[in-house]
């Protein structure tokens, strides 16, 4: 059986990766033959990628044709849901390359007048389980991956900084809620014991007993949404509208998820955030001198190591990250990368990220992979102008929405650290 276009593309990418791995493992540059082969593989990959996108578009066109006899909806707000085409590079392109949006432009070649009816159905622009994360390019350097050497004809572009949502785990959920067990504390008492324990032996000779303190928590789905008012002219310009969605939609949805992931109260229709979760370890500040920030963090690493936690990241308020970046020795040399460095942002070998939502003077340290964001409905966009005032003003309402549950499986594997940078009230 012949390979599909996607299988052929995967084979080409795999061959390219094997060449790169061979050069890296042998600590050498590419040979002349390898450079030629890489060029050929790049051409093949571009051609196959174009064919895959064309096949996907054809599939969408066929679905549209088959559905053309279905009765039109008369509700004020569109109810249908459409999947965005595969292969879109961004959230904005996923929407502007969708069939409903393209049909809207086709049916209004002169733009949208005051009488134009705009009722675009919901278009899913994210893959369930990672709707708020960027779509990785298989040929690019992975986010956060360090490049020790510069190889010829390899584009080492600047990678966007990591965020909290890059370090937590993501997935999907099929229901609206579920109960789960949280590990709130750990007591490990494993030891060597005698082969025979006599009745006269002291209690210390008995076989040890370890213990896990647990609590029942509920992972409930919440709806994260944001709305935008745009002009008809902006909606009609695919490129500008895609850029607008990328700049506003992605940032705002990520920001609201991050905020409630950290600060949710668990009441008034909010999930319970990390800062309000029982069982998370509390580490006091080692002092008020800024140089003590790394000391406080190091104490948290020890406390987490004692319960077997693998620390995967540190979250700081931008103001505290600034204090770290500006720390200097007695000769005014920066301890870190300095203003012209492009190296990783790490503290005790762990990456640290910034989050506006974490309070200044507090750091989150721990195994961030034990925090899950589980999507019930992937990120989607809907647009309509069924509003008297909007119709008169040539405006359109665009709404982005994502439904997800946040889960914190092991609070004991997380620690909140006082940094001493904010004076007590």
What average pLDDT does range 14-24 have in this prediction?
A: 85
How many CA atoms within 13 Å lie on the side-chain side of 283?
A: 28
Statement to judge: residues 117 and 14 lie in one domain: no
Of the candidates 126, 129, 373, the one whose C-alpha atom is nearest the C-alpha of residue 246 is 126
pLDDT band of 362, cuts 50, 70, 90: very high
**Within this chain, do residues 296 and 409 fall inside the same structural domain, yes or no?**
yes
Say whether both 114 and 19 belong to one domain. Answer: no
Residue 84: band (very low, low, confident or very high) from pLDDT cuts 50, 70, 90: low
Lowest mean pLDDT among 18-22, 134-138, 235-239, 354-358: 134-138
Statement to judge: residues 37 and 168 lie in one domain: no
Residue 38 lies in a domain: yes
Read off the pLDDT of each residue in 110-135 and give the average, rounded to a whole number.
63
Q: What is the CATH number of the domain that holds 345?
A: 3.30.2400.10
| Count of the separate structural domains present in the chain | 2
In-domain check, residue 81: no
Confidence grade of residue 313 (pLDDT, cut at 50, 70, 90): very high
**32: helix, strand or coil:** helix
**Do 122 and 264 share a domain, yes or no?**
yes
- Given pLDDT bands bounded at 50, 70 and 90, which one contains residue 66? low
Q: Which domain holds residue 54?
A: 1-64
The mean pLDDT value for 332-349 works out to: 82
Q: Are residues 343 and 252 in the same domain?
A: yes
In the chain, how long is the greatest CA-to-CA distance? 96
The answer to whether residue 201 is domain-embedded is no
User: Are 37 and 125 contained in the same domain?
Assistant: no
Query: Are 279 and 422 found together in one domain?
Result: yes
pLDDT at 73: 46
Residue 215 lies in a domain: yes
One domain, residues 283 and 355: yes
In the predicted structure, residue 29 carries a pLDDT above the cut 90: no
* Banded pLDDT at 131 (limits 50, 70, 90): low
Which of 48, 64, 80 terminates a domain? The answer is: 64
Do 323 and 235 share a structural domain? yes
CB neighbours of 369 closer than 8 A, spacing ≥ 6?
Answer: 167, 168, 169, 312
If asked whether residues 224 and 341 sit together in one domain, one would say yes
pLDDT of residue 64: 62
pLDDT interval class at 357 (50, 70, 90) = very high
Task: Give residue 420's region: left, alpha or beta (phi > 0; psi -120 to 50).
Answer: left
Indicate whether 233 and 318 sit together in one domain.
Answer: yes
Residue 213 is encoded by which pair of tokens?
A: 């303190």
Distance of alpha carbon 419 from alpha carbon 373, whole angstroms? 27
Measured at the CA of 314, the angle between CA 364 and CA 161, to 5 degrees, comes to 130
Question: Among the three residues 64, 98, 115, which one is the final residue of a domain in this structure?
Answer: 64
DSSP string, 275-287: GG-TT-EEE--S-
In percent, the amount of the chain with pLDDT more than 90 equals 21
Cβ within 8 Å of residue 165, ≥6 positions away? 132, 133, 254, 257, 258, 261, 373
Residue 308's pLDDT is 86
Stretch 21-36: mean pLDDT: 85
Cβ–Cβ contacts within 10 Å for residue 377, how many? 19
Distance from C-alpha of 421 to C-alpha of 287, rounded to nearest angstrom: 9
pLDDT of 211 > 70? The answer is no
| 100 within domain boundaries | no
List Cβ<8 Å contacts ≥24 apart for 63-67: 63/99, 64/99, 64/103
């Amino acid at each position: 059986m012949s390979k599909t276009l996607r299988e052929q593309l995967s084979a080409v990418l795999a061959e390219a990766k094997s060449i790169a791995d061979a050069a890296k493992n042998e600590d050498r540059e590419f040979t002349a033959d390898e450079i030629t082969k890489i060029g050929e593989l790049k051409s093949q990959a571009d051609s196959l990628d174009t064919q895959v996108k064309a096949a996907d578009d054809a599939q969408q066109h066929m679905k549209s044709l088959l559905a053309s006899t279905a009765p039109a909806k008369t509700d004020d707000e569109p109810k249908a849901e459409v999947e965005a085409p595969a292969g879109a590079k961004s959230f904005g392109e996923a929407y502007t390359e969708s069939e409903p949006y393209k049909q809207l432009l086709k049916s209004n070649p002169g733009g949208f007048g005051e009488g134009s009816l705009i009722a675009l159905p919901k278009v899913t622009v994210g893959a369930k389980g990672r709707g708020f994360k960027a779509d990785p390019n298989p040929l690019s350097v992975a986010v956060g991956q360090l490049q020790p050497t510069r190889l010829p004809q390899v584009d080492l572009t600047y990678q966007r900084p990591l965020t909290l949502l890059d370090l937590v785990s993501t997935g999907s959920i099929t229901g609206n809620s579920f109960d789960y067990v949280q590990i709130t504390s750990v007591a490990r008492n494993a030891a060597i014991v005698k082969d025979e324990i006599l009745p006269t032996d002291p209690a210390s000779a008995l076989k040890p007993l370890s213990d896990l303190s647990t609590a029942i928590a509920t992972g409930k789905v919440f709806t994260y949404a944001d709305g935008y008012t745009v002009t008809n002219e902006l909606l009609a310009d695919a490129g500008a509208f895609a850029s607008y969605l990328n700049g506003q939609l992605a940032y705002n949805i990520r920001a609201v998820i991050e905020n409630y992931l950290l600060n949710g109260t668990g009441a008034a229709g909010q999930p319970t955030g990390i800062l309000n979760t029982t069982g998370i370890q509390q580490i006091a500040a080692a002092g008020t001198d800024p140089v003590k920030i790394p000391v406080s963090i190091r104490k948290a690493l020890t406390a987490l190591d004692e319960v077997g936690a693998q620390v995967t990241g540190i979250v700081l308020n931008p103001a505290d990250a600034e204090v770290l970046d500006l720390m200097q020795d007695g000769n005014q040399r920066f301890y870190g990368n300095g203003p012209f460095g492009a190296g990783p942002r790490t503290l005790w070998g762990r990456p640290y990220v910034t989050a506006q939502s974490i309070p200044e003077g507090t750091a989150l340290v721990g195994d961030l992979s034990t925090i899950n964001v589980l999507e019930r409905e992937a990120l989607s966009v809907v647009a309509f102008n069924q509003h008297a005032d909007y119709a008169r003003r040539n405006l359109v309402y665009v709404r982005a929405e994502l439904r997800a549950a946040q889960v914190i499986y092991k609070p004991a594997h997380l620690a909140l650290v006082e940094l001493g940078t904010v004076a007590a009230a």
